[in-house]
Amino acid sequence: MSQRSIFVAALSALLSACAGGSPALEYGVPTPDAVRYTYGDTTTVTVSIMGQNLEMAQRGVVDYAVAFSAAPAGVNVSMTVSELEGVLSQPMGAPVRINTDDVQGALVFALDREGNAVIAEQLTVSMEASQMVSGLALSHTFFPGLPGRSVAVGDMWVDTVSYQGSEGAGDRSETAVYRYTVVGDTVVSGRSLLKIDVAGNNELSATLDVQGMSVSQRSEVEVEGWVLWDAQAGLMVERRSVSSGSGTASVPVAPGPIPIQVRSTQVVRLAGM
């Protein structure tokens, strides 16, 4: 073999090794294929009415049992609520407590390799719990959007999420644009994880039928946070989102839309981390 042939063969082997060195950041069946996630939500809505600021809040923790299975274009996901504890508070009445009995059934959906969702089965959720547990929101936003390719530090991609539908006692729609940036590796509990920063904006609209009255809320918020991803397992380990913004609430007894301010912190963690 000539010196040139040896050089070409060596270069080809080197390029092949480099190309295969980093797995694609995409959805498939992870290892393990059955996990538990804990989701914590603290959301405060401040209503400005008649010169006063009234604060409403929801705080709660949900444990989700999640199972993954193979799908032609990505992965099938089944989520059930194994435990739920939450409190919805308002200044004009007693706190409303929600628990596991407020959610029935399983949420089943498919994710393609980039995280776009198609719902197959929905949860049955009480009106009160639907403010914290939404099958529409879970299927489209619980897991991050991925690029479907290998990434390196500094790489960026944009994911647009848009859905609308009915569930429980109302309707819900959301349009969001998220910008993801690869920060690099970090170690958590001895586990090497990929950290990805997230920033974007979210427009949310929800309507509920409350005792025969149609109550609606619209908000626009800015979102910042991060995702921790286990590249070897192909699994999300943590997602944190902090959002703030403004909007309006409409109720039949009010003469017009009521200004609101919204603040929210949501954290998802893989059980055991």
- pLDDT tens, per residue, the chain with 273 residues: 444 443 444 434 333 344 445 789 999 999 999 999 999 999 999 988 877 888 999 999 999 999 999 999 999 999 999 999 999 998 878 999 999 999 999 999 999 999 999 999 999 999 889 889 999 999 999 999 999 999 999 999 999 999 999 887 789 999 999 999 999 999 998 899 999 999 999 999 998 876 667 889 999 999 999 999 999 999 999 999 999 999 999 888 778 899 999 999 999 999 975
**What is the helix (H) or strand (E) element at residue 40, kind and residue range?**
strand 34-49
Residue 116 to residue 145: CA distance in whole angstroms: 7
Domain assignment present for residue 1? The answer is: no
Which DSSP letter does residue 25 get?
B
Encode 85-141 in three state secondary structure. EEEEEECCEEEEEEEHHHEECCEEEEEECCCCEEEEECCEECCCHHHCCCHHHHHHH
Domain assignment present for residue 208? The answer is: yes
- The whole model's pTM is what? 0.88
* Adjacent-strand bridge partners of 45: 56, 262
* Adjacent-strand bridge partners of 227: 196, 239
Q: Which domain holds residue 241?
A: 23-270
Domain assignment present for residue 197? The answer is: yes
Domain assignment present for residue 104? The answer is: yes
Domain assignment present for residue 140? The answer is: yes
Give the count of domains, the chain: 1
Domain assignment present for residue 2? The answer is: no
Domain assignment present for residue 4? The answer is: no
For residue 186, which of 153, 157, 156 has the smallest C-alpha distance? 153
| CATH number of the domain within which 215 lies | 2.30.230
pLDDT score at 14: 39
pLDDT score at 8: 40
Residue 247 to residue 227: CA distance in whole angstroms: 27
Domain assignment present for residue 210? The answer is: yes
